[in-house]
Amino acid sequence: MQLIHNYAWLVPLLPCMASGIIGIGLLSFRNATRSLRLPSAILSIGMLGISMMFSFGLFWEQISNNSAYIHLWSWINTENVSLEVGYIIDPLSSIMLVLVTTVGVSVMIYTDGYMSHDTGYVRFFAYLSLFTASMLGLVLSPNLLQVYIFWELIGMCSYLLIGFWFTRPSAAAACQKAFITNRVGDFGLLLGILGFYWLTGSFDFTIVTERFHQLINDGSVNISFAILFAICLFLGPVAKSAQFPLHVWLPDAMEGPTPISALIHAATLVAAGIFLVARLLPLFQELPIVMDIIAYTGISTALLGATLAIAQRDLKRGLAYSTMSQLGYMMLALGIGSYEAGLFHLITHAYSKALLFLGSGSVIHGMEGVVGYNPNKSQDMSYMGGIRQYMPITGITFLIGTLSLCGIPPFACFWSKDQILAESWEKMPLLGWMAWLTAGLTAFYMFRIYFLTFEGEFRGSKNNSELVDKSLYPHESSVTMVIPLVILSIPTILIGLLGAPFPDGVPGTGLFSQWLHITNLSTHHGDTTWTEFILESLPSVGIGMFGAFIAWIVYGPHASKSRDFTVALDPLKEGMSGFVLNAIYSWSLRRGYIDELYDHIFVSSTRTLSLMTSWLDQWVIDGAVNSTGLLSLLGGESTKYIETGRTTSYIFVLASATFLLLGAIFFLY
């Protein structure tokens, strides 16, 4: 088993090599490499598949031995600075490796079908391989400096993938928005890393935590500075994991191809922020006020994301706000110190959300022929409905993901979300009630998405003047797109059972909790029986069922027969009366006015300042320079006519000026 640890560095290197080979081919032999579509896909999937096998081996060894392993190499070694790079294998990193590689392989297989007709097929696989390699490198990083390097690589890859279809103005704007928003958080992360290096003299996670703990105990550190540095560290995950108020980039990131949307929302970009907070949690726990900030940021994000999802018409944007809300749950769990629950929900949500996004891509792919390849209509749920009868596998797997995300037992997210709610009620009751309300909203908007998309009658051929052939209807996707949906359905159904109190009637806290109990961050509180577990789960299941029931009343199959969703914005708005309810609906549809507020504060003000600066530069600075030149020109021109070279003229001018000067003096005095 020691041999596996020694070769753990191959896990991120193999997909990086695949990306490098394809990238060099595109740069050196562009046309020839672009024609090698199948070899490029096989290379990318094969390399990541080998990394997945290594990840399973490392994961199994962690379960068997319960011991962490760190391997370091000297990178920069001077009299004043000693920097090392390497990798760390522990429960957190090993389970994240399995998560990233399994979801990544599924997405790559799916990509072969989804991008089969795209001219950038080979380039997309090169980006995907580099993206997964960067995330795997981040997961294995043993220190903050190495984390920051891979953190920026992830940001660069997300920029390339979100703006993959860069000829679309919306995609170009979306990748810029994501890049700029993440720069805010990344700058804070950099300041936090440098701040803790100044305090502790190290970048290593273990050393930083131990030295900071000692400084706190000795009282030899300024608490205000420590809190400031910790908040700066937290800013990085706030941006990457789309936490309020740096969440605005996430819905716009849906402009990228659906496979990258699935990878971003399930196992890479947004998961990186949760992972880093989990890795730094021993450090944050030294500062209770920072833990409170993390918890309140999480619950604010969860509730905001849920409220913004309830009126979205775009299928992928609705799922994007769902991701935002679930990330808030994870951050809430970490903020209250529930390490196991937060990490468990990260895992269960990853498989469920990958399934949902790939399912949405399958729907969009099946709808393209119906709506004339108009992306605005192919993602608009008001032009869908009844798709399950045309795409049965996509419909069933999407329903499985919906049930899981709503917290309906026995699906995966039920076990992790229920644990978060229980921990929240126990430690911070106010946040527990807010999380419970958010769970009801989650069930409502997820079943709204499902009903509008898959149930009732198909609406794509109604009131659509763009359709030429009325016989066109959605079709099931190709085998390479359907197989990943079926594969991801398995962990979506079963993986949550790792947190169940097995076996029935025997005391236990679940395999997942028992394994993580080896860490110092375990929140294991003792034995739980099935009876106690069921009683504790009733409130969360009840609110989820209630939200689903309300969604069925408003959007169920019977509703689609009495309303034309292609005309009415939303049946929910039709039943609303009064200023408050309409305000809530507008709040959700217009993204809480946050994007508009940012546009006025940052975008418009920046443009105004730029115009003022341009005017100042043009008329004041350049004006002064140009005026000097103009005066020199006029002076030269006028002097040219005076300087004739005749001595008599010079004497005449000199005499005239002298008499005028004497006359002026005589007149004045």
| Domain-located, residue 614 | yes
Closest listed residue to residue 332, CA positions, set 417, 264, 390, 403: 417
- Percent of the chain clearing pLDDT 70 (strictly above): 87
Q: What is the pLDDT of residues 15-45, one digit of tens each?
A: 999 999 999 999 988 888 888 899 999 999 9
H or E segment to which residue 290 belongs: helix 288-309
Q: How far apart are CA 44 and CA 8, in angstroms?
A: 19
Structural domain tally of the chain? Answer: 1
Which range among 151-165, 177-191, 397-411, 471-485 shows the weakest confidence by mean pLDDT? 471-485
pLDDT interval class at 654 (50, 70, 90): confident
Closest listed residue to residue 248, CA positions, set 585, 583, 596, 589: 596
pLDDT interval class at 523 (50, 70, 90): very low
Helix axes 144-162, 269-279, angle to 10 degrees: 160
265-271 average pLDDT score: 87
- What's the pLDDT score for residue 562? 54
- What's the pLDDT score for residue 77? 83
- Answer for the pair 33, 41: CB distance below 8 angstroms, yes or no: no
| Structure letter (DSSP) for residue 462 | S
The owner of tokens 């790079």 is: 85
| Domain-located, residue 640 | yes
- Answer for the pair 99, 132: CB distance below 8 angstroms, yes or no: no
| Domain-located, residue 631 | yes
- What's the pLDDT score for residue 546? 94
Q: Which has more pLDDT, 197 or 504?
A: 197
Which range among 396-405, 527-536, 616-625 shows the weakest confidence by mean pLDDT? 527-536
Q: What is the pLDDT of residues 574-624, one digit of tens each?
A: 544 555 667 777 888 888 889 888 888 888 888 888 899 888 888 888 888
Which of 396-400, 456-460, 648-652 holds the top average pLDDT?
396-400
Q: How far apart are CA 309 and CA 330, in angstroms?
A: 18
Write 571-578 long-range contacts (CB < 8 A, 24+).
572/310, 572/311, 573/311
- Render the burial of 309-323: b for 16+ CB within 10 Å, e for the rest: bbbbbbbbbbbbbbb
H or E segment to which residue 75 belongs: strand 69-77
| Structure letter (DSSP) for residue 478 | P
Q: What is the pLDDT of residues 78-89, one digit of tens each?
A: 877 788 899 999
- What's the pLDDT score for residue 507? 36
- What's the pLDDT score for residue 84? 87
- What's the pLDDT score for residue 445? 93
| Domain-located, residue 652 | yes
- What's the pLDDT score for residue 371? 55
Q: CB within 8 A of 134, min separation 6: which ones?
A: 12, 150, 153, 154, 157, 268
Phi/psi at 565 (5° precision): -70, -15
Tell me the Cα Rg of the chain.
Answer: 31
Q: Which has more pLDDT, 143 or 520?
A: 143
The encoded tokens of residue 564 equal 């034309």
Looking at the predicted structure, is the pLDDT value of residue 564 above 80? no
CA angle 85, 89, 94 (to 5 degrees): 130
| Domain-located, residue 632 | yes
pTM of this prediction?
Answer: 0.88
Amino acid found at 74: S
Q: How far apart are CA 531 and CA 207, in angstroms?
A: 43
- What's the pLDDT score for residue 648? 74
Q: What is the pLDDT of residues 323-355, one digit of tens each?
A: 999 999 999 999 998 888 899 999 999 999 999
| Domain-located, residue 609 | yes
H or E segment to which residue 77 belongs: strand 69-77
- Answer for the pair 212, 286: CB distance below 8 angstroms, yes or no: yes
Looking at the predicted structure, is the pLDDT value of residue 61 above 90? no
Q: How far apart are CA 188 and CA 238, in angstroms?
A: 10
The owner of tokens 């299928």 is: 315
Looking at the predicted structure, is the pLDDT value of residue 108 above 60? yes
Amino acid found at 271: A
- What's the pLDDT score for residue 653? 76
- What's the pLDDT score for residue 549? 93
* Bridge partner list, 85: 73
Looking at the predicted structure, is the pLDDT value of residue 638 above 60? yes
Q: Which has more pLDDT, 53 or 527?
A: 53
- Answer for the pair 539, 436: CB distance below 8 angstroms, yes or no: yes
- The boundaries of the domain holding residue 631 are 594-668
Longest dimension (CA), the chain: 126
Q: What is the dihedral of CA 355, 360, 366, 369, to 10 degrees?
A: -160
527-538 average pLDDT score: 72
pLDDT interval class at 130 (50, 70, 90): very high
- Answer for the pair 265, 323: CB distance below 8 angstroms, yes or no: yes
| Domain-located, residue 608 | yes
The encoded tokens of residue 193 equal 């890393």
Looking at the predicted structure, is the pLDDT value of residue 14 above 90? yes
Looking at the predicted structure, is the pLDDT value of residue 475 above 80? yes
Which range among 42-56, 317-331, 617-631 shows the weakest confidence by mean pLDDT? 617-631
- What's the pLDDT score for residue 629? 80
The encoded tokens of residue 498 equal 């790792």
| Domain-located, residue 653 | yes
pLDDT interval class at 357 (50, 70, 90): very high
pLDDT interval class at 465 (50, 70, 90): very low
